[in-house]
């Protein structure tokens, strides 16, 4: 048994390794990108639109509404980043219903990569909204004494993001694997359904936390 | 170690590529489509509102026109009714006038016819009376009608009262006296002589007697002297007969009155 799909290296040349995580991610990228390409080729501007277009619009407008609800009024500026986070984690987690599939989000490398993306994106969005000085001042909020704690908070919440997602997804996969060996048939099915729900909730938590961090940075309220 | 930093780097790159892919093929087209549809809906709503406003304006316009038309129609109807009523009254009055005129003409014609009939009856009666009397006298008394009439007139002259004699006589001192004797028939010379003698006996002076034939005297003798007239004729008898016949005619007319002259047709 392996803890992460990173351990399954399919091709290696020097320090370059193509493990299962990267391959699965590529497959998901092709599925998502190709699917969107195929779906959005025939978008209709008419009053009556196809049902699949309704589904796409419901998903996108739902994400946009969540972003605005958190406090980012200009939701279209952030929907590419936050929406991609949510859709990637959701699709990666829900694809676990396919037998033999190992979600890339169950890899600490992937969750760390996503957390690093959030770690980099938060100051970039903050600086774009309120400028460099405005953003840096947010670390002195509410008093300069809080500067080290704000920096620690910035790093720790990134770690928390990465480990929360990794822990939940990895543990779900582990539990199902263990239950299959102990009590096959019924319990693994229930746990699998629970794992799907957990994956959905984790995707929501990950993306909503990223939105909250970005919203705090763009308002200059610090970490 | 759980973290493979090459995988981390690869996943960061993968995430950025996926973000670009989704932005290119999902967010941008779908959000653009939503915007375009919203814009289209807004335009259609605006067009619908404009159309609705235009329709409301048209409806108001046509309602106003309908009201004006109804008012105009009512006015024209009232005017036409008044004109028809005036024409009816005018025609009725014309019909009344025409009826009255026809009635008057009819009455005039009837009156003329009655007068003509009366005249005819009188003439005919006179002729018949004369003829009968002449024939009766000739058959029974072997004498003429004219002779009997002159005899009767002479008798009347002789039996005149004093007042009448004075009226017939010329005033005192006048030596000339003109006496005109008119008769409906030509007096024979014997009767003229007898009648002249009776007149001379009546008046105090010798008059100048002149005889004249007057066909309108209705079979009688008329004597005019000093502006006074003395006559004998069958006019009185004829008047009584005429009254009797007139009453008969009147009765006949009343009976025929139910057959009134036709009323003129009203317009």
Distances in Å between the alpha carbon of B51 and those of A17, B37, B43, B47, B57? 67, 20, 12, 6, 10
- Is a pLDDT exceeding 70 seen at residue A43? yes
- Give the pLDDT confidence score for residue A222 in this predicted structure: 55
- Give the pLDDT confidence score for residue B32 in this predicted structure: 93
Range with top average pLDDT, B157-171, B216-230, B240-254 = B157-171
A132 shares contact with chain B (CB less than 8 Å): no
Average pLDDT over residues A142-151: 90
Q: Indicate yes or no: CB of B14 within 8 angstroms of CB of A117.
A: no
- Is a pLDDT exceeding 90 seen at residue B11? yes
Per-residue pLDDT band for B207 (boundaries 50, 70, 90) equals confident
Residues 6+ apart with CB under 8 A from A9: A17, A18, A19
- Establish if B103 belongs to a structural domain: no
- Chain A residue numbers with beta carbons less than 8 Å from the beta carbon of B4 are 6, 17, 19, 109
Q: Indicate yes or no: CB of A76 within 8 angstroms of CB of B31.
A: yes
**Lowest pLDDT segment from A46-55, A106-115, B148-157:** B148-157
- Residue of A2, A28, A33 to mutate when probing chain B, most B C-beta within 10 A: A33
Distance CA A161, CA A144 (A): 26
Q: If contacts are CB pairs under 8 Å, which of residues 154-213 in chain A contact chain B? A: 166
B51 cis-preceded (ω within 30 degrees of 0)? no
Proportion of chain B above pLDDT 90, given as a percent: 35
- Establish if B22 belongs to a structural domain: no
- Chain B residue numbers with beta carbons less than 8 Å from the beta carbon of A80 are 19, 22-23, 27
Per-residue pLDDT band for B175 (boundaries 50, 70, 90) equals confident
- Give the pLDDT confidence score for residue A114 in this predicted structure: 95
- Chain B residue numbers with beta carbons less than 8 Å from the beta carbon of A44 are 33
Distance CA B72, CA B66 (A): 10
- Give the pLDDT confidence score for residue B220 in this predicted structure: 76
Helices A186-218 and A147-182: crossing angle in degrees, nearest 10, is 170
A56 shares contact with chain B (CB less than 8 Å): yes
- Chain B residue numbers with beta carbons less than 8 Å from the beta carbon of A58 are none
Average pLDDT over residues A83-94: 96
Residues B40-79 have pLDDT tens digits of 999 999 999 999 999 999 999 999 999 999 999 999 999 9
**Lowest pLDDT segment from A59-68, A117-126, B4-13, B190-199:** B190-199
- Give the pLDDT confidence score for residue B132 in this predicted structure: 82
Number of domains present in the structure of chain B: 1
- Establish if B115 belongs to a structural domain: no
In angstroms, what separates the C-alpha of A136 from chain B's closest C-alpha?
25
- Establish if B9 belongs to a structural domain: no
- Is a pLDDT exceeding 90 seen at residue B153? no
Q: Compare B231 and B193 and report the one with higher pLDDT.
A: B193
Distance CA B105, CA B264 (A): 13
- Give me the count of residues in chain A: 223
- Establish if B85 belongs to a structural domain: no
- Is a pLDDT exceeding 90 seen at residue B203? no
**Lowest pLDDT segment from A4-13, A44-53, A88-97, B170-179:** B170-179
- Give the pLDDT confidence score for residue B256 in this predicted structure: 65
- Is a pLDDT exceeding 50 seen at residue B267? no
- Is a pLDDT exceeding 90 seen at residue B238? no
**If you measure CA to CA, which chain B residue comes closest to A55?**
B30
- Is a pLDDT exceeding 70 seen at residue A18? yes
- Establish if B157 belongs to a structural domain: yes
**If you measure CA to CA, which chain A residue comes closest to B32?**
A45
Per-residue pLDDT band for B201 (boundaries 50, 70, 90) equals confident
**If you measure CA to CA, which chain B residue comes closest to A53?**
B30
Are the beta carbons of A175 and A191 closer than 8 angstroms?
Answer: yes
Q: Indicate yes or no: CB of A22 within 8 angstroms of CB of B11.
A: yes
- Give the pLDDT confidence score for residue B196 in this predicted structure: 87
**If you measure CA to CA, which chain B residue comes closest to A112?**
B8
> Reduced to 3 states, what is the DSSP secondary structure of residue B109?
helix
Residues B128-137 have pLDDT tens digits of 877 787 777 7
Name the token pair of B244.
Answer: 């009797």
> In this predicted complex, what is the ipTM?
0.93
Q: Indicate yes or no: CB of A49 within 8 angstroms of CB of B37.
A: yes
- For strands B228-233 and B208-213, give the pairing: unpaired
Q: Compare A53 and A141 and report the one with higher pLDDT.
A: A53
- Establish if B108 belongs to a structural domain: no
Residues 6+ apart with CB under 8 A from B169: B177, B203, B204, B225, B226
Name the token pair of B259.
Answer: 């057959």
Which range of residues forms the domain containing residue B236?
124-254
- Establish if B240 belongs to a structural domain: yes
Nearest to B12 among A33, A83, A113 (CB): A113
Are the beta carbons of B28 and B21 closer than 8 angstroms?
Answer: no
> Reduced to 3 states, what is the DSSP secondary structure of residue B232?
strand
- Chain A residue numbers with beta carbons less than 8 Å from the beta carbon of B30 are 40, 43, 53, 56-57, 60
Name the token pair of B112.
Answer: 């003329």
Distance CA B196, CA B63 (A): 111
């Amino acid at each position: 048994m392996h803890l992460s799909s990173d351990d399954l290296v399919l091709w290696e040349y020097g320090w370059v390794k193509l493990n299962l995580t990267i391959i699965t991610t590529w497959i998901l990228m092709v599925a998502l990108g190709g699917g969107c390409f195929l779906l959005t080729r025939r978008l209709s501007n008419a009053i009556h639109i196809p049902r699949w277009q309704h589904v796409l619009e419901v998903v996108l407008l739902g994400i946009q509404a969540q972003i605005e609800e958190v406090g980012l009024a200009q939701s279209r500026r952030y929907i590419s980043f936050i929406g991609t986070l949510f859709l990637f984690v959701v699709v990666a987690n829900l694809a676990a219903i396919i037998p033999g599939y190992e979600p890339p989000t169950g890899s600490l490398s992937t969750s760390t990569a996503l957390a690093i993306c959030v770690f980099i994106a938060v100051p970039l969005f903050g600086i774009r909204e309120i400028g460099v000085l405005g953003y840096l001042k947010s670390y002195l909020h509410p008093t300069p004494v809080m500067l080290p704690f704000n920096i620690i908070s910035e790093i720790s919440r990134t770690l928390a993001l990465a480990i929360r997602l990794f822990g939940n997804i990895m543990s779900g996969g582990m539990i199902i694997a263990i239950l299959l060996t102990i009590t096959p048939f019924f319990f693994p099915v229930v746990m699998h359904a629970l794992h799907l729900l957990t994956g959905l909730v984790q995707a929501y938590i990950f993306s909503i936390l990223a939105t909250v961090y970005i919203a705090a940075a763009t308002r200059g309220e610090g970490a | 170690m759980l973290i493979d930093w090459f995988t981390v780097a690869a996943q960061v790159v993968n995430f950025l590529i996926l973000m670009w892919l989704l932005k290119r093929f999902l967010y941008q087209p779908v959000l653009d489509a939503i915007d375009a549809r919203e814009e289209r809906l807004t335009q259609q709503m605006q067009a619908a509102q404009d159309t609705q406003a235009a329709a409301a304006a048209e409806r108001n316009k046509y309602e106003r026109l309908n009201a004006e038309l109804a008012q105009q129609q009512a006015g024209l109807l009232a005017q036409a009714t008044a004109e028809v009523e005036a024409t009816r009254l005018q025609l009725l009055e014309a019909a009344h006038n025409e009826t009255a005129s026809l009635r008057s003409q009819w009455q005039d014609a009837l009156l003329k016819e009655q007068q003509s009939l009366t005249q005819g009856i009188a003439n005919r009666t006179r002729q018949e009376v004369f003829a009968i009397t002449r024939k009766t006298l000739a058959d029974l008394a072997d004498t003429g009608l004219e002779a009997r009439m002159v005899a009767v007139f002479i008798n009347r002259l002789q039996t005149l009262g004093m007042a009448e004699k004075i009226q017939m006589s010329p005033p005192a001192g006048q030596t000339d006296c003109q006496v005109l004797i008119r008769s409906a028939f030509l007096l024979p010379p014997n009767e003229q002589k007898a009648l002249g003698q009776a007149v001379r006996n009546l008046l105090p002076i010798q008059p100048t007697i002149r005889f004249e034939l007057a066909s309108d005297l209705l079979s009688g003798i008329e004597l005019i002297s000093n502006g006074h007239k003395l006559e004998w004729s069958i006019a009185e008898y004829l008047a009584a007969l005429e009254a009797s016949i007139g009453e008969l005619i009147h009765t006949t007319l009343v009976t025929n009155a139910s057959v009134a002259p036709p009323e003129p047709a009203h317009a």
